[in-house]
Amino acid sequence: MHLQVSNVCKSFGHGRASKLVLDHVSFDLHSGEFLALVGRSGSGKSTVMRLIAGLDHPSSGSICLDGQPVVGPGSDRGMVFQKYSLYPWLTAAQNVAFGMELQGRSRSEVRERTGYFLEVVGLADAARRLPRELSGGMQQRIAIARALAADPKLLLLDEPFGALDIQIRESMQEFLHQLWQRTGLTALLITHDLEEALLLANRVHILAPNPGRIVRSVDVQLDRSAMPDVRLSPEFLAMREDLAKGLRALEPALPS
Amino acid sequence: MTTVELRRLLSQPWVLGLMGILGVLIVWFLSTASGAVDKLFLPSPLAVWQAGQTQWSSGILLKDALASIQRVFLGFALSAGVALPVGIAMGTNPVICRLLEPLIGLIRYMPAPAFIPLLIIYFGLEELPKVLLIFIGTVFFNTLMIMDAVKFVPRELVETALTLGGKGFPILTRVVAPFIAPQVLDTYRINMASAWNLVIVAELVAATEGLGKRISLAQRFLRTDEIFVGLIAIGLIGLAIDLGFRLLMRRACSWAN
């Protein structure tokens, strides 16, 4: 799998009211990589994700997946949203099965894979529960299971933990890291949380706002074997501080 | 009974409602029994009960009720059946919405009973004009409310289906339809009340049977007790339909409660 985003610009509106949201954004993503795009609101990070998902089209530039230009949404690029991520009328298992049913897989295959992916996200016990009976963290795990069950080449995560409490958020980050290591998935994470990006991704792009553009890219090579403690390692803290300084420099000066 | 027990009893939702109804009945009974109000204007509860029994045992009440119910159901089924696809089309397609919304917005403000003369000229005095009156009086409200329900389907739910490999029609049946089902049922429940109003109006104008017809006949013979029977029957049937919709919603859309 090779995702190629080259010189993508996106503006909304027409004529004078037109606003440039993305300015010549380029990056690559290969199989097995975990890439994070970090930026505050207005940096166009969600727009990048929507363009890759095919839910919107770039004004100029190109997005190619394995050499084929992206023209619309498809099951090769699974997506997990922050809000309304599950169908509230379907049980957890039915939610996981949803994509596979849309794809027209056989019943026995759907049943088998649903069980497997519920197991993968550790929620086999919750199979028959409705989303409203699940915690926010469990809901997002089901949403991830549903995306993975549809067998995407690339998993797009749009602030998937943005609405969760801080403790749950941290355990979800550890969950996602383990999932990545176990399944070898390829992921693109959108977040405003620098710590989250550094913790999970092996490559981080920093986006500056107005118009959104990549101003810095870093490779992250941390020993993540002792996951919760990584957050406190001097290496991690130094890297976070360095990037945070860079992000702060992008903010307009506060009036004193 | 202790105050705690009394409070617990009053906190039951149906207790106060029942007390309200009983209160009106008592005031009604006292004002007629004391002779304060002329019996011709306000018959006693007992007289109404007897009139009701007479109409029931002669079969008139059932026949009238069935006639009215049939008109309501035919007219409303037609309205619901047309409003559902049109409302969904308007909610999902901006072109269709811009095309139809001003038109529907205009016609909606024309009072349905004002169409009765036209309907009589076109279709005579049989069942069809009455059914069509109910159709005209409810279809535009049903359509606009269903359109709104469709517009409020969260974008994420549709886009998730798209990124899972879903396309047009399956998204309509598997995402949009289940999401709007509770609002559609509620829309039907609310607009059913208008359908009941309209059937009575239609029958007051022209009919051989029906609860509205019975009321207008009773007026001609100054039978206020029979008018009351008709009014109470209309109210009770309406209430039963309303409760039926609520029950259906609780059964079919338990996730939305």
Task: Measure the CA–CA gap between A147 and A79, rounded to whole angstroms.
Answer: 6
Please indicate if any CB of chain B lies within 8 Å of the CB of A98.
yes
Q: Which residues of B touch A81 (CB under 8 A)?
A: 156, 159-160
Q: CB distance A83–B161 less than 8 Å?
A: no
Q: Which residues of A touch B158 (CB under 8 A)?
A: none
Q: Which residues of B touch A53 (CB under 8 A)?
A: 159, 162-163
Please indicate if any CB of chain B lies within 8 Å of the CB of A102.
yes
Q: Indicate the pTM of the whole model.
A: 0.85
Please indicate if any CB of chain A lies within 8 Å of the CB of B173.
no
Q: Which residues of A touch B160 (CB under 8 A)?
A: 79, 81, 84-85, 143
Which domains, from first to last, does chain A contain?
1-75+154-161+175-251 (3.40.50.300), 77-151 (no CATH)
pLDDT at residue A254, rounded to an integer: 58
Q: What are phi and psi of B111, to 5 degrees?
A: -60, 130
Please indicate if any CB of chain A lies within 8 Å of the CB of B165.
yes
Q: CB distance A84–B156 less than 8 Å?
A: yes
- How close, in Å, is residue B150 to chain A by CA atoms? 15
Residues 6+ apart with CB under 8 A from B57: none
Q: Which residues of B touch A130 (CB under 8 A)?
A: 255
- Contact by Cβ (8 Å): A32, A82: no
Q: CB distance A99–B164 less than 8 Å?
A: yes
Per-residue DSSP letter, B146 = H
Q: Does the structure's ipTM exceed the value 0.90? A: no
From the number of C-beta atoms within 10 Å of its C-beta (0-12, 13-18, 19+), residue A16 rates as exposed
- How close, in Å, is residue A141 to chain B by CA atoms? 15
For residue A102, give the nearest of B154, B156, B170 by CB distance.
Answer: B170
- How close, in Å, is residue A247 to chain B by CA atoms? 29
Please indicate if any CB of chain A lies within 8 Å of the CB of B177.
no
At A216, list the tokens.
Answer: 């810095």
CA distance between the termini of chain A: 50
Please indicate if any CB of chain A lies within 8 Å of the CB of B156.
yes
- Contact by Cβ (8 Å): A122, A141: yes
Which domains, from first to last, does chain B contain?
48-256 (1.10.3720.10)
Q: What are phi and psi of A71, to 5 degrees?
A: -115, -15
Q: Which residues of B touch A55 (CB under 8 A)?
A: 159, 162-163
Nearest residue on chain B to A96, alpha-carbon basis: B164
Please indicate if any CB of chain B lies within 8 Å of the CB of A71.
no
At B83, list the tokens.
Answer: 């409003």
Q: CB distance B164–A103 less than 8 Å?
A: yes
Category of A54 on φ-ψ map: left (φ > 0), alpha (ψ -120 to 50) or beta: left
pLDDT at residue B16, rounded to an integer: 86
> What is the average pLDDT score of chain B?
91
Please indicate if any CB of chain B lies within 8 Å of the CB of A88.
yes
Q: List C-alpha distances in Å: A98 to A56, A79, B10.
A: 23, 13, 46
Neighbours of A182 (CB within 10 A): 9
Task: Measure the CA–CA gap between A155 and A81, rounded to whole angstroms.
Answer: 11
- For chain B, residues with pLDDT lower than 70 are 1
pLDDT at residue A253, rounded to an integer: 60
pLDDT at residue A255, rounded to an integer: 58
Residues 6+ apart with CB under 8 A from A191: A36, A37, A38, A159, A162, A197
Q: CB distance A146–B164 less than 8 Å?
A: yes
At B175, list the tokens.
Answer: 């995402």
Radius of gyration of chain A (CA): 19
Nearest residue on chain B to A130, alpha-carbon basis: B255
Residue given tokens 């649903």 in the structure block:
A114
pLDDT at residue A166, rounded to an integer: 86
Per-residue DSSP letter, A212 = B
Q: Chains A, B: CB contacts under 8 A, how many?
A: 68
- How close, in Å, is residue B44 to chain A by CA atoms? 51
Q: List the pLDDT tens digit at each of the 256 positions of chain A.
A: 899 999 999 999 888 888 999 999 999 999 999 999 998 888 899 999 999 999 999 999 999 999 999 999 999 999 999 887 899 999 999 999 999 999 999 999 999 999 999 988 888 999 999 999 999 889 999 999 999 999 999 999 999 998 888 888 888 898 899 889 888 899 999 999 898 999 999 999 999 888 899 988 888 888 777 777 888 888 888 888 888 888 888 776 655 5
Q: CB distance B159–A79 less than 8 Å?
A: yes
Please indicate if any CB of chain A lies within 8 Å of the CB of B9.
no
